[in-house]
Amino acid sequence: MIDFEEKVGAVMVVGGGIAGIQASLDLANSGYYVYLVERTGAIGGAMAQVDKTFPTNDCAMCILSPKLVECGRHLNIEMMTMTELEKLDGELGNFTVTLRQHPRYVDLVKCIACGKCADKCPRQVRDEFNQNISFRKAIYVKYPQAAPLKYQIDPLNCIRMRGGRCNECERVCPCGAIRFEDVEKTVAVKVGSIILAPGYRPFDPSGLVAWGYGRFKNVVTSMELERYLAVSGPTGGQVLRPSDGKKVRKMAFLQCIGSRDYNQINKSYCSSVCCMSAIKEATIATDNDRDLRVSIFHQDIRTHGKDFERFYDKAKQKGIVFHRCRTHAVEPGESPHEVSLRFITESGKQMTEQFDLVVLSVGLETTPETAVLAERAGIELTSNGFASTSCFAPVTTSKPGVFACGAFLSPKDIPLSVIQASAAATASAIRLSDVRYSLSHQRQFPQERSVEGEKPRIGVFICNCGSNIAETVRVREVARYVESLPEVVYVETNLFACSQDAQEIIRQRIREKNLNRIVVASCTPRTHEQLFRETLRASGLNECLVEMANIRNQLAWVHKGEPEAATAKAKDLVRMAVAKAALLEPAPPVSVRITPQALVIGGGLSGMVAALALADQGFPVQLVEKSAQLGGNARHLFKTWKGEPVPDYIESLTNQVREHSLISIHLKSVVSDAEGYVGSFRSVVQKPTGSVVINHGVTILATGGQAFKPTEYDYGLSPNILTSLEFDKLHAVGDERIVNGRSFVFIQCVGSREPERNYCSRVCCTHSIQSAMALKEENPARRVFILHRDIRTYGMREELYRRARELGVIFINYDMHQKPNVVVDESGIEVIVWDHILHEPFSITADVVTLATSIIPNPETRELAKLYKLPVDMDGFLQEAHVKLRPVDFATDGIFLAGLAHYPKPIEESIVQAQAAVSRAVTVLSSRWVDLDLVRARVDEEKCDCCALCLNVCPYEALEIERDPDATGRENGKQRLVVRSAKCKGCGSCQATCPKEGISVNGFSYGQLSAQVRAALTGSGTAN
Amino acid sequence: MIVIRIGQLADQLGVHRNTIRNWIRSGRLPARSMSGKRYLLTESDFAKICQEFGIDRSVLKLKHVPGAPLMSREMSMLEENVRPVDLPSGQLLVDPTWGEVCITCGSCASACPISGVDGMDPRKLVRMAVLGIEDDLLASQWPWKCTLCGKCERACPQNVEIVSLIQRVRGLRERSKLPGPLHKGVLMCLDKGNNLGIPREDFVSLVEEMSQEMVEEGFTGFRSPIDVQGANLLVSVNSKEPFAEPDDMKYWWRIFHAAGESWTLPSVNWEGVNWALFTGDEDSLRTIVGRLVENMYRLECKTLLLPDLGHSYFAARYALNRWFKDDLKNFKVTNIFELLTGYINDGRIQIDPSRHRKITTFTDACNYGRRSLKAFGYGYFEEPRAIIRKCAPNYVDLYPNRADDYCCGAGGGAWAMPFKEERVYYGRFKARQIENSGAGLVVTACHNCRDQIMKSLRKEYDLKVDVKYIWELVADSLVLPGGRAGRP
């Protein structure tokens, strides 16, 4: 055991992609100090390069950049860019990590990212962030939204660093931030555990000459296409032919380039994400340009994630053509700007088609640098170069105290990376829970000054945003104009209003000029309002006294090249903000006490993992299970896809849960009623012995799923037609139907990917393949057929698919013709199926037919969701807050989800999701109080007459009518409207409904909004 | 649905087979091709054609299967008359990597230059083997229209041994039913020592006559190379040369003479062709290669020059590795590229680079390149290019090239087989490659490529190019002592 004193309450996260960012934020928000180590000059990783994310087509940068900002501002995250792990000493709880920091040649503190250096730098270099499509300078910032937003010099290309005579950047830098003499440094830090999230790189296809990458200009990789599609990318979102810059007319995607290839590159795995990213890119490209025609050449289409199948269907409806055929090569086309593809149609005809853009859907692979990192960290890798872990501890590497997440574990999409990141945060924190808060810092704010009775004294800070705003808007002119506005006592322009030094300046001005309202004219409040609110708090002002005018996103960026009109509009926007600011009122901070106990609903695998991970960190857990025993569906499973025995694991897990002193188990129990909000829930649990009330700070829903019972394929007519789970049981007990069987048929997608359940159940292909392999291994003379639609053995599971074929399992795709026909008569079972290659029917005499039925959510989930006011999707699965970046959260704070209730998934994904839910829950449980957002409804008791119209429209049940407890005598019986602040989301439905202006939302009251509108209508920027 | 075989239906309807084929081709009889030369058509389409031609359907014997055409969702499949799936017997698929590992992705089918011809494509062929449709596969002409070029295997992401499978299918066909003269050639070779049955005396006297010509052409001291005991290099001959193009033998002779090589031609079993590779006849393949080995011992030669035909080089190398491992301790083995490279690099021959001024290109011989790379781990791609650049510096590559190059269309025995139309059609890729390269001279390393391009593709595709063997190019570039040109 490690001594308490020796343990270090800090964690190192290596890799600043989305996984590293999420892990860092979770840990920093639950009381640990985090070192976020990134090899390049800025965090953001591959997600920053992606245009949009599937299946919602959300803008990737828009959802990522708030996280970047949060990392940048977080007191407990120390970003260490241009840094690599050099050496790892010590052990779990107390590691010493030696880091090598490469010189940036720019002072991180002094640089204000004004961009003057890059303007002057004479050296143009291909921009790797834009996949070398465009150019950057030798001094550059990785991308416009980078965190930290600091320049860096690329020593390989800088004229000065290469011995030339140039000091342009040094000459123009207004801050003296250039450090040509910067040198490499070695630093050592102490941490309790380490999370490795080094990510992936896209496969480089130039080694495979057949695809013509590098030879034909109009052959690009999918990552390059992302940059073409990005509105902020080098072509402004247009897909142009690299050969001549003309619009693309016909585009083809070639799937599995650098994946599933045993021949020339020996990549045995499926990269999991390329099918969806190709469909996404094709969809975006056709949406942008209706005349564009897109074909996708593929083997299987693997849309096995939540809502992916419908996304695929929509793409087909949009006219995107899917060819179930790979081409062998890209060949010269009929014109110099075209290339030619030859392929076989589904009916077996060979065709040649000309395309003017071919996109290689390149796979994901780990890098040689990652191998070095793994070696230095002392962890084992698989033969494919990914971190080696068990299904039962999916983020735990071979070395205690070292964890892994993201694409480093296997190729995966963003949600799973985010889930694994949170899971890694949990796993790395469990052994450090007793040193939580030992190294973290808490922001301290001075006593708040009352502004009551003061006349508004408004200070306006106008941001140049480097050149972002200044190149379109004449900022000085706007400032002069603003000075003339009523109640404005001070105006200042800043290069970057968001920079650390600008915050210092704002604080200083508030003191000097006795300001009591602040307007910041800069960018979007979405990403920056929180920052300025904190600055106000640090100056002793209430945080509600700041207003922002968005003169970048809604102005400078959309009116490029129109300085006259843009400057006028800027004046309008600032005038409006000033008018509103004058009416801003302080609001008291709302914080809620956290009940440090969790309620976990569902005692299956996910519920047990969640309960145990919470209890191991010292939080009491109430675990509610509706059946008489723990274990759920996992009790019906025998092996993970990696072959590990499930029953042993479940038994040991169940025992740990049962024996844990902090876990109370309620069997044969259901939640019948619930109320409350984050930190303070109150749920009623119906037990066989009566009902109990549980107070809890967070809720985790792990209500599971169940196997669909089919009606088709003559299920039930013969004892030899089974579902997958039934087959497993008979197989395990050595039933004679299986032992003596000579011919076995598996039918896939029974109940899945059907109109009434249009989703893929994710686990069935792997499951059937494992069963088929076992049958063949026992007796190679058996005939085993798998009748399928697409084989979806994503990731490393692809190796199982190959092994099954090596064992002689025969795969027939029935999708092209029709479902197989199962005929039962006295002589036995016959399955008739059309072959997808020979296009003729075959009959198979089967001893046993196994139906791979879909996974459906438990019907009770819907009821439970109603109790907690949570959304479910059209298939009855729980709907998370955001499919990409908040995959285990709900829109309602304090409630989290895990397991099959979310979507069908295999064991290891349920486990990581449960661990992730715990990580999110601990960010709440670990603090005693939680501060709530101040944009909330407020009752004007003068005007409110308790008509209660607002109660009906409030979606959060945040409003209540209560009897005035102080009233006596005649007054007794007087009612009043109360806002349950913790539940209110500030949506404004009440305000819009109230006929008497008796309720308003703080910061968005009618008075404030009409002042803004009046300001917009009266006076105009141009009139000045 | 009705399953028809063209021959059967033609007999029953009393029309010629081509008539039926024409109907299908023109769409008059909408039929979909199935495996094993069978076609599938709907009852109503068939009824229509019967009516149109006044045929009484009731007297016809037809095979009915339930179901509907491709992609229809309404068909109902019943249990009658559907072909049962057989387990692959193992005689075809010796290993799952020969078939079962196929994921039916279509890479091979899209790569194969004659996919779709006669309904053939490599994917269907593999599928038939996997689903145990072996009789039809053995009876099919598909495996014989394939040139064994290995383009399909190169494209296959699962590394399916498609060529091995096809060779095995060929090997399992009843010998009397092999198309064309291939099997007769093998039998003749086994019987007489060469494919064309040229008697020993005729061969010896031809070589002696030609040797005399060599001297007359100025190759002073050239002596008949027949059975030179203890010579360094043992050389074989493609029997087509002594039979029809004897002058072509002299290219090598001139090079050997210029290099001062000690070499010999055996008087018997000198055949450089090995058609047993094409017929999938491993026993004969071994025997034929074994005879070259015998010659090595009989004449006590030090180095065996593998035959200059692509397929035969491959067959010999394959056989030596497989059955003659021990013998390889007793003599060295070389091939045309290593030999020529050595002559040039060691300065044993002098090359005049000014004689070939045309843009010159090289067509990779499948057996020397792609197939060697796969079978032996090394393909001869750079050596021929280096040799050619020495002789004809104005060199361009075809596209694609090296391991991705297209077969000329005459490999796998196709040059000798009775499928001329397919062979010419196959060659369209090679013709287009050559045309796009802008070359005026095509150099080949294999007799079949050379014959296909020179004698067939030039005419069919109107190619304005000269064609030379690589050793012909070298022979024509030789600078002989005294500065004479190597060309008579």
pLDDT digits (tens, 9 = 90+) for B262-307: 999 999 999 999 999 999 999 999 999 999 999 999 999 999 999 9
B contact residues 49-78, partner A, Cβ 8 Å cutoff = 65-67, 70-73, 75-78
Look at A842 and B3; give whichever has higher pLDDT. Answer: A842
CB < 8 Å from A in window 159-178 of B: 159
Tell me, what's the pLDDT at B72? Answer: 33
How far CA B465 is from CA of B440, B457, B459, in Å, comes to 5, 10, 10
pLDDT above 70 coverage of chain B, percent: 92
* B131 closest CB neighbour out of A342, A346, A842: A842
Q: Average model confidence (pLDDT) for chain A?
A: 93
Euclidean distance between the first and the last CA atom of chain A, given in angstroms as a whole number: 74
Q: Is A335 on the interface with B (CB under 8 A)?
A: no
> Minimum mean pLDDT among A524-538, A593-607, A794-808, B97-111: which range?
A524-538
Lowest mean pLDDT among A192-201, A537-546, A776-785, B65-74: B65-74
Contact B34 A845 (CB under 8 A): no
- For A694, the enclosing helix (H) or strand (E) is strand A690-696
Asked if B116's CB is within 8 angstroms of A350's CB, the reply is yes
B130-159 residues touching A, CB cutoff 8 A: 130-131, 133, 151, 153-159
Q: Is the pLDDT of residue A1020 over 70?
A: no
B121 touches chain A (CB under 8 A): yes
**Count of CB contacts below 8 A, A vs B?**
172
Confidence (pTM) = 0.89
Q: What is the mean pLDDT of residues B461-481?
A: 95
- Interface mutation target, options A203, A255, A263, chain B, most CBs of B under 10 Å: A263
Residue closest to A499 by CA, chosen among A114, A107, A71: A114
Q: What is the pLDDT of residues B183-219, one digit of tens each?
A: 999 999 999 999 999 999 999 999 999 999 999 999 9
- What angle separates helix B162-172 from helix B122-130, to the nearest 10 degrees? 70
Complex ipTM: 0.86
Is the CB of residue A609 less than 8 Å from the CB of residue A917?
no
A709-756 pLDDT per residue, tens: 999 999 999 999 999 999 999 999 999 999 999 999 999 999 999 999
Is residue B83 within 8 angstroms of chain A, CB to CB?
A: yes
What pLDDT score does A61 carry?
84
Q: What is the mean pLDDT of residues A485-491?
A: 95
To which residue do tokens 């609903």 refer? A601
Cβ B79–A843 below 8 Å, yes or no? yes
d(CA A81, CA B87): 60
pLDDT at residue A971 greater than cutoff 90:
no
Query: What pLDDT is attached to residue B38?
Result: 73
pLDDT greater than 90 at residue A367? yes
Which residue in the block uniquely carries the two structure tokens 């491709």?
Answer: B70
For chain A positions 296-315, those within 8 Å of chain B (CB to CB) are 299
* Chain B residues with CB-CB distance to A350 below 8 A: 109-110, 115-116, 121
Please give the residue of chain B at the shortest CA–CA distance from A790. B103
DSSP annotation of B421 reads H
Contacting residues of A for B33, CB less than 8 Å apart:
348
By DSSP bridging, strand A895-897 and strand A698-701 are parallel
Nearest to A93 by CA among A196, A190, A23, A197: A190
Bridge partners (DSSP) listed for residue A691: A686
Chosen for mutation from A301, A302, A344 (greatest number of chain B CBs closer than 10 Å) is A344
Of B35, B79, B100, nearest to A808 by CB-CB distance is B100
User: How far apart, in Å, are the Cα atoms of B286 and each of A54, B290, B291?
Assistant: 59, 6, 9
Q: What is the pLDDT of residue A328?
A: 95
Using an 8 Å Cβ cutoff, are B195 and B273 in contact?
yes
Sign of CA dihedral A528, A529, A533, A536: positive
Answer yes or no: do B156 and A811 touch at CB < 8 A.
no
What is the pLDDT at residue A167?
A: 93
Residue B36 has pLDDT above 70, yes or no: no
If one compares B40 and A76, the residue with the highest pLDDT of the two is A76
Whether the per-residue pLDDT at B473 is higher than 80: the answer is yes
Q: CA of A257: which chain B residue's CA is closest?
A: B157
CB contact under 8 A, B155 and A331: no
Q: What share of chain B is helix, strand, coil (3-state, %, to 5)?
A: 50, 10, 40
**CB of A256 less than 8 A from some CB of B:** yes
CA B357 to chain A, closest CA, distance in angstroms equals 27
Q: How far is B359 from chain A (nearest CA, A)?
A: 20
Nearest CA to CA, how far is A725 from chain B (Å)?
A: 27
Question: Are the Cβ atoms of A325 and B110 closer than 8 angstroms?
Answer: yes
The closest of A853, A850, A791 to A822, measured between CA atoms, is: A850
Q: How confident is the model at residue A973 (pLDDT cuts 50, 70, 90)?
A: low
- Quick check: A834 contacting B, CB < 8 Å? yes
